[in-house]
Structure 1
Amino acid sequence: MNNSQNKVAKSYAIIGFGKIGKALAKAFARRGIKVSVATTRNPESFAPEAAEIGTGIIPATLADAVKADVIFLAVRFESHPDVAKALPEWQGKIIVDVTNAYGVPLEKLGGLPSAKFVAQAFTGGKLVKGFNHLGAAILDKDPAVHGGSRVVFLASDDEGAAEEIAALAEDLGFAAVKLGGLSEGGLLVQALGNTWGQLIFQDLIKFKS
């Protein structure tokens, strides 16, 4: 089964260990999938919190975490350039952009959707916008709800990367809904200035037909 092979073949990391980062870590822990977690701090400073979530949640330095194949960017939007500097180029890696650029003036983004602006910083990487439309309190919950699965929206200009993250989302117990490219469907889950995308904060459940 492809999903199982993905779990064996791929390594995962979450950069950022605030409310969103911890909620993502819990999602991995529920399914017994190992994931590294990193911040700009010494890993020992948040090791007890990681251990509380599960044995497969591995505190790491930023330098070690970015060696993963798939990296969840769960930092403040303003901090993404600092993470991008951790590697000279991101070839072969998928970056899942969980940031929200609410309140960031459009001129600061050069007129680009926020995810495209973020993608520019990660030279050579494949960016997927996803997991950002749910608040931390919702993302923190088990995605299995009343016999259905909580929906996560994904958008990417790379179809292969979107497929891979959709498979991972399913492995984590979510129902993945792909919205297309970052400048099309992706705008539904990206903040523009002081306006939230139409699908942000929509907590939807998908049931098997």
Structure 2
Amino acid sequence: MSYAIIGFGKIGQALAKAFARNGVEVSVATTRDPESFSADAAAIGPTVIPTTLAEAVKADTVFLAVRFEAHPDVAKALPNWSGKTVIDAMNLFPVPDALEGVPSSAVVAKAFPGAKFVKGFNHLIAATLATDPVVEGGHRVVFLSSDDEAAIAPVAALAQRLGFAPISLGKLNEGGALVHARGRTWGPLIFKDLFKKER
């Protein structure tokens, strides 16, 4: 299984740190030449591999950590996303009126035809996401939602491998709405610093 993170801002680097902390190789890419961020990648760890967008989208699992407005450019990197899992780690705020109450991830999902699409890893601020999720005997929670129930299991397994405690919220417009911004308000679970204690 291969992994890539598209976007190397605060969220992209936080995700890269989670991979590096667990010795899992991950490609990182932006629309820029990889040499422009190779030093930042090297500072995180040797398992974080800077590459081009064209190469990164060859991964089996791709995290979206770009600005919402940039996701169509990423989507155009492949004519079809069949066989790939796309994890939407983006947040859109404030939500434009044009979405008319539709979750932003539902819009993003349509741009990646054929992909197994999961919303996740978006509810924690970058500084929290970047830290070790194993805290005080518990594991920091990661919320996941998808309209494809079967898509959640492998992402949940990855979250566990990275040290998080995954919790499925169901479909995007149901439980998933709890981690989506609405109008000028954040979803109820956005930015909650939650832990799941192991018994």
TM-score by length of 1: 0.93
Look up the equivalent residue of 1:170 and give its one-letter code. Answer: Q
1:63-117, CA deviations, whole angstroms, 9 ceiling, x for partnerless residues?
A: 000000100000011111111111111001111001111113132x254211111
Structure 2 partner of 1:59: 50
Distance, in Å, in 2 between the alignment partners of 1:17 and 1:183 is 28
Structure 1 partner of 2:113: 123
Distance, in Å, in 2 between the alignment partners of 1:25 and 1:97 is 15
The reply to whether residue 178 of structure 1 matches residue 168 of structure 2 is: yes
Distance, in Å, in 1 between the alignment partners of 2:49 and 2:17 is 12
Structure 1 partner of 2:15: 24
The answer to whether the 8 A contact 2:145-2:170 is kept is yes
The reply to whether residue 15 of structure 1 matches residue 6 of structure 2 is: yes
Deviation, 1:14, is 0.1
The percentage of counterpart residues that share the same residue type is: 65
The answer to whether the 8 A contact 1:143-1:150 is kept is yes
The answer to whether the 8 A contact 2:101-2:182 is kept is no
Look up the equivalent residue of 1:127 and give its one-letter code. Answer: F
Secondary structure class of the residue paired with 2:118? strand
The answer to whether the 8 A contact 1:134-1:202 is kept is yes
Distance, in Å, in 1 between the alignment partners of 2:130 and 2:23 is 16
The reply to whether residue 147 of structure 1 matches residue 137 of structure 2 is: yes
May I ask how many residue pairs the two structures share in their alignment? 199
Distance, in Å, in 1 between the alignment partners of 2:97 and 2:158 is 32
Q: Give ranges in structure 2 of 5+ residues lacking alignment.
A: none
Which of 158, 163, 182 is the equivalent residue of 1:192?
Answer: 182
Which of 90, 94, 104 is the equivalent residue of 1:99?
Answer: 90
Secondary structure class of the residue paired with 1:32? coil
The answer to whether the 8 A contact 1:101-1:193 is kept is no
1:1-49, CA deviations, whole angstroms, 9 ceiling, x for partnerless residues?
A: xxxxxxxxx1000000001000000000010000000001100111111
Distance, in Å, in 1 between the alignment partners of 2:165 and 2:42 is 27
Distance, in Å, in 2 between the alignment partners of 1:66 and 1:91 is 12
